[in-house]
Structure 1
Amino acid sequence: MNAIQSRLDIMKPSYMEEASAKRRENILSELQKKAAQAIVNVFETGRPRGDYGKVTYHPKDPGQLTYGRSHTTLASGNLYLLVRDYCAAPDAVFGPNLYIYMDRLANRDRSLNFDERLKALLGEAGQDPVMRDSQDRFFDRVYWEPSLISANNIHITSALGISVIYDSRVHGSWQRLRDLTTDHMGNPSQVGEKAWIQAYVRRRRDWLAQHSNALLRKTVYRMESFQSLMDQGQWNLELPFMVRGVRIDASMLLDAPVRVSAQEPEAARVLRLHTPALCGDDVLRLQEALCRAGHTVAVDGVFGPETARAVQAFQKASGRLKVDGIVGPATRAALGFDD
Structure 2
Amino acid sequence: MGELEKRTAQAIVNIFESGKAAGDYGAVTVLAGDSGHLTYGKAQTTLASGNLYLLIKAYVESAGALYASALKEYLPALKRCEASLDNDARLRWVLQEAGADPAMQDVQDGFFDRVFWKPSADAARALGIKTPLGLAIVYDSHIHGSWRYLKGRVEEKAGKAAAIGEKRWITAYVGERKAWLAGHDNRLLRRTIYRMEAFEELIASGNWSLALPLTVRGVRIDSDIIDYHPPVRVSAEGAEERLLLLKSPPMTGEDVRALEEALKRHGYVINTDGVFDENLERIVKDFQQLERLTADGIVGASTRAALGI
* TM-score tier after normalising by the smaller chain length: 0.7 to 0.9
Q: Does 1:139 align with 2:105?
A: no
Q: 1:116 aligns with which of 69, 77, 89?
A: 89
Using the alignment, how far apart are the partners of 1:157 and 1:56 within structure 2?
33
Percent identity, aligned pairs only, is 49
1:173 to 146, 161, 172: 146
Deviation at 1:64, TM superposition (A): 0.8
- Establish whether residue 209 from structure 1 lines up as the match of residue 173 from structure 2: no
Q: Shift of the alpha carbon at 1:29?
A: 1.2
Q: 2:79 maps to what in 1?
A: 106
Deviation at 1:114, TM superposition (A): 1.1
2:202 to 220, 223, 229: 229
Question: Contact between 2:18 and 2:42, CA under 8 Å: does it hold in 1?
Answer: yes
Once the two structures are superposed, the pairs formed by residues 165-314 of structure 1 within 5 Å of their partners are 165-255=138-228
Matched with 1:280 is: none
What SS does the corresponding residue of 1:247 show, helix, strand or coil?
strand
Deviation at residue 165 of structure 1 after TM alignment: 0.6
The answer to whether residue 12 in structure 2 is matched with residue 44 in structure 1 is no
Structure 1 segments of 4 or more deviating over 4 A? none
Q: Distance in 1 between matches of 2:226 and 2:61?
A: 28
> Shift in Å at residue 251 of structure 1?
1.4
SS in 2 for 1:53: coil
Amino acid at match of 1:173: S
CA distance in 2, matches of 1:219, 1:225: 11
SS across alignment from 1:35: helix
Tell me the distance in 2 between the aligned counterparts of 1:90 and 1:152: 34
Deviation at 1:183, TM superposition (A): 1.0
The Cα offsets for residues 252-304 of structure 1, whole Å up to 9 and x where unpaired, read as 1113xxxxxxxxxxxxxxxxxxxxxxxxxxxxxxxxxxxxxxxxxxxxxxxxx
Please say which structure displays the higher CA radius of gyration.
Answer: 2
- Please give the alpha-carbon distance, in whole angstroms, between the structure 2 residues aligned to 1:78 and 1:230: 32
Query: What's 1:60 paired with?
Result: 33
Pairing of 1:16-55 with structure 2 (within 5 A): 28-55=1-28
* 1:59 Cα offset (Å): 2.2
Instruction: Give the equivalent residue in structure 2 for 1:74.
Output: 47
SS in structure 1 of the partner of residue 215 of structure 2: strand
Question: Which residue in 2 is equivalent to 1:157?
Answer: 130
Long gaps (5+) in structure 2: 229-309
What is the identity, as a one-letter code, of the residue corresponding to 1:98? L
Q: In the alignment, is the contact (CA less than 8 A) between 2:63 and 2:103 conserved in 1?
A: no
Map Cα deviations across residues 7-30 of structure 1 (whole Å, 9 max, x no partner): xxxxxxxxxxxxxxxxxxxxx111
Q: Tell me which amino acid in the other structure corresponds to 2:159.
A: G
Cα RMSD after superposing both structures: 0.7
Equivalent residues of 2:116, 2:143 under 8 A apart: yes
Whether 1:89 aligns to 2:70 is no
User: What whole-Å deviation, never above 9, does each CA across 1:114-166 have from its counterpart, x for those lacking one?
Assistant: 11111111011001111011111111011000101111111111100000010
Equivalent residue letter for 1:167: D
- Could you tell me the TM-score, scaled by structure 1's length? 0.66
Looking at both structures, which has the greater relative contact order when contacts are Cα pairs under 8 Å and sequence separation is at least 6?
1
Whole-angstrom CA distance in 2 between matches of 1:151 and 1:95: 36
Distance in 2, matches of 1:68 and 1:125, equals 10
Task: Supply the AA of the counterpart residue of 2:95.
Answer: L
CA apart distance, 1:194 = 0.4
Distance 1:71 1:174 in 2: 17
Amino acid at match of 1:233: G
Deviation at 1:32, TM superposition (A): 0.3
1:174-197 residue CA offsets vs partner (Å, 9 max, x unmatched): 111111111111110011000000
